[in-house]
Amino acid sequence: MVRIQILWLLAMLLALSPPLSAQQDGKKLEGDGYLFAYFEGKGDRLKQEQLRFAVSADAIHWYALNGNEPVIPSAGISKTGGIRDPHILRGEEGASYYMVATDMFTAKDGWGSNPGIVLMRSDDLLSWKHRAIDLAETYPEKFNDVKWVWAPQTIYDPSVGKHLVYFTVRFHKDERLDFYAAYANAEFNGFEDEPKLLFSPKYGGIDGDIVYKDGLYHLFFKGNTKDDSGKEIQNGIQQATSRSLWGPWKEDFRYVDAYADTSVVVEGSSVFKLNGKDEYLLMYDLYTNGRYEFQRTTDLFQFTAKPESFQKNFRPRHGSVIAINKEEARRLHGKWGGVPPALLQPADGDDRYTFLSKGNPIITHHYTADPAALVQGDTLWLYTGHDAAGGQKGYKMKDWLVFSTTDMKTWTEYPVPLKIEDFKWAKSGDAYAGHVVERNGKYYWYISTNWSGIGVAVADRPEGPFHDALGRPLLTNDDCFDSSHSWACIDPAVFIDDDGQAWIFWGNRECYYAKLKENMVELDGPVARLKFDDFDFTEAPWIHKRQGKYYLSYATGFPEKIAYAVADRIDGPYVYKGILNEIAGNSNTNHQAIVEFKGNSYFIYHNGGIQPDGGSYSRSVCIDRLFYEADGTLKRVLMTSEGIE
């Protein structure tokens, strides 16, 4: 008899305790960033109650995808034409995603009643199968009198290997707000059975969110306190706990949010774990104040007293968050755009990010400037400067970036190949324009650092990594003998002639040039200054050669245009030929690279075209075709939004 009781007790413990895989959810779901599913709280009310996505690399700074437009129109997935309170969940196996939402369109129908919820399932976060479930129609015996079916959420129940969908229900003839639940079928487009009562808080509750940790389920919900007459005297975020999803639930009547003792009201609580940390955020919607805030916890019982705010470019209403990895973030960006660069940019090793250019600018997830291009076989390598952020008020550039393409449409980004900190002598801390050339199987990157001089980095592969080849600058302001300003020694451009002689051009206001030795890291003779009639030089020299003629293009005036001159010798004399490219939109500077690739000539430049935060200090690289007249002169470049077709 004793043995039977022991076996029965063990069986009960196994039933109440999720298996190891579920207990390790925190580790299994670690990611590189976060995806936030929400509906919008501002703008046209008829457009607010629709599903939207946002992404964050750190869970604090959030960026709306798709320009904060709906990722899936509500009219196609709901009965009412609206959805609220979306909850997103990663499947236990990691290959599927589940989402549920309230089927309700208050902007059109008001708050009188809503029929049910929407179930959605996806294998890639991009395409979603969906079905709306009307409880009154599907289960008339129990739910014929249902008034509200609110804020559904999903959790995997390892004791039965199924997804449990739970939500708040209120009936027309009963003012109680209780939580009901049912297991979804395998297709996640319906319930296996009629929903049953899951938890009945003493004073009712809405917006439930269940989180599992250390053998205990925590149910967070918006609850309230009433006096003896039944009048509500307080409300806020409460929690109940249980060893089993079906209870019994132990209700804790204290409030965990920071606003319960104030006039500020909150709802839509949702808890998610931070990647790589034993820390959780309890976030909630301050719906009358237009804010979204959070408090921190490590044990799901004690929370930080002071709420913190999210930084975001949208105004979310009740939503939820899951961890995502870089692959998922890149998929999301490919379809809707808006993912922050930290989740797109390769970090190290063999990680790569491949994307399609959709016209100009060709790169929209970074602010890029000062392009230089190198053609090797069937690959064009693009090297750029990197403006640190959008909306900058000055030049903040700390590293350089590298991309490649074989068709001018599909681009591959590589880990950051070079940083200004790699040049210990560069006290300016400024990563200005550069140029890469290949010689004898080595790749040499000539970079400028504002007033610290021009340096050289070297690598064995075009994508790097590069390292300082000299430990000191190759050129400094001392080499700019006709200049008096501190930023004269910038914008290097290197050209290796047909006879093998390498040349370097550089400068600001005055244009200098010199020969380079075979080793590419020493000058081979004196520095000279380039002069010719009508040469109004600002910066950004570039040399290319065609049919025995040398073409010198450069930035002229300010705001800058690109002009060009032609010579029979690389060191001149040059003859001015005119303007090649007009002022690049929304940018005071311009900086060009000219290359021939697979039979076509290309003009690569930058503008300030990324909106809304592009500008003279937050620039973006573009590419358009370059054409020659029959006499060898250059046609003026037509800058386009379409770019390379």
pLDDT in tens, 438-476: 999 999 999 999 999 999 999 999 999 999 999 999 999
When pLDDT is averaged across residues 567-579 and rounded to a whole number, the result is: 98
Residues 137 and 227 in one domain: yes
When pLDDT is averaged across residues 392-417 and rounded to a whole number, the result is: 98
The active-site residue, picked from 510, 539, 560, 624, is 539
Percent of the chain with pLDDT over 90: 93
Q: What is the pLDDT of residue 10?
A: 38
Q: Which domain holds residue 378?
A: 345-635
Using DSSP's 3-state secondary structure scheme, residue 346 falls into: coil
539 is catalytic: yes
- Over the stretch 172-204, which tens digit does the pLDDT of each residue have? 999 999 999 999 999 999 999 999 999 999 999
41 located within any domain = yes
The answer on pLDDT for 66 being more than 70 is yes
Q: Output the average pLDDT for the chain.
A: 94
Q: What is the pLDDT of residue 6?
A: 38
- Over the stretch 496-536, which tens digit does the pLDDT of each residue have? 999 999 999 999 999 999 999 999 999 999 999 999 999 99
13 located within any domain = no
Contact indicator for 312, 322 with CB cutoff of 8 Å? no
Q: Which of 267, 263, 285, 134 is nearest to 206 (CA)?
A: 267
Residues 304 and 430 in one domain: no
Residues 533 and 458 in one domain: yes
pTM value?
A: 0.89
Residues 354 and 312 in one domain: no
Q: Distance between CA 645 and CA 635 in Å, rounded? A: 19
Q: What is the pLDDT of residue 645?
A: 82
Q: What is the CATH number of the domain that holds 301?
A: 2.115.10.20
601 located within any domain = yes
419 located within any domain = yes
26 located within any domain = no
The answer on pLDDT for 434 being more than 90 is yes
Residues 452 and 498 in one domain: yes
When pLDDT is averaged across residues 561-590 and rounded to a whole number, the result is: 97
Q: What is the pLDDT of residue 84?
A: 98
Residues in the chain: 645
Number of domains in the chain: 2
Q: What is the pLDDT of residue 415?
A: 97
Residues 58 and 205 in one domain: yes
10 located within any domain = no
Q: What is the pLDDT of residue 95?
A: 83
Q: Distance between CA 555 and CA 589 in Å, rounded? A: 8
Q: Distance between CA 172 and CA 178 in Å, rounded? A: 13
Residue where one domain finishes, among candidates 284, 314, 336? 336
Residues 123 and 41 in one domain: yes
The answer on pLDDT for 144 being more than 60 is yes
Residue where one domain finishes, among candidates 301, 336, 371? 336
Q: How buried is 225 (Cβ within 10 angstroms: 0-12 exposed, 13-18 middle, 19+ buried)?
A: middle
Residues 480 and 401 in one domain: yes
15 located within any domain = no
Q: Distance between CA 473 and CA 437 in Å, rounded? A: 18
Residues 310 and 349 in one domain: no
Residues 430 and 551 in one domain: yes
Q: What is the pLDDT of residue 11?
A: 40
Confidence of residue 94 (pLDDT cuts 50, 70, 90): confident
When pLDDT is averaged across residues 265-283 and rounded to a whole number, the result is: 97
The active-site residue, picked from 85, 92, 209, 370, is 370
Confidence of residue 247 (pLDDT cuts 50, 70, 90): very high
**585 Cβ contact partners less than 8 Å away, ≥ 6 residues apart:** 607, 608, 609, 639
Residue where one domain finishes, among candidates 336, 357, 390? 336
Contacts of range 219-225, beta carbons closer than 8 Å, 24 or more positions apart: 219/179, 219/249, 220/256, 220/269, 220/270, 220/271, 220/282, 221/179, 221/269, 222/266, 222/267, 222/268, 222/269, 223/253, 223/255, 225/253
Q: Distance between CA 173 and CA 146 in Å, rounded? A: 9
20 located within any domain = no
Residues 285 and 328 in one domain: yes
Q: Distance between CA 84 and CA 82 in Å, rounded? A: 7
Q: What is the pLDDT of residue 30?
A: 80
The answer on pLDDT for 5 being more than 60 is no
**272 Cβ contact partners less than 8 Å away, ≥ 6 residues apart:** 34, 59, 280, 281, 283, 320, 321, 322, 323
Residues 535 and 588 in one domain: yes
Strands (E), 227-330: 232-242, 250-252, 267-273, 280-286, 291-297, 308-309, 311-312, 316-324
Confidence of residue 29 (pLDDT cuts 50, 70, 90): low
When pLDDT is averaged across residues 272-281 and rounded to a whole number, the result is: 97
Q: Find how far residue 156's CA is from the centre of its chain.
A: 28
370 is catalytic: yes
Percent of the chain with pLDDT over 70: 96
The token pair that represents 256 in the structure block: 């965990």
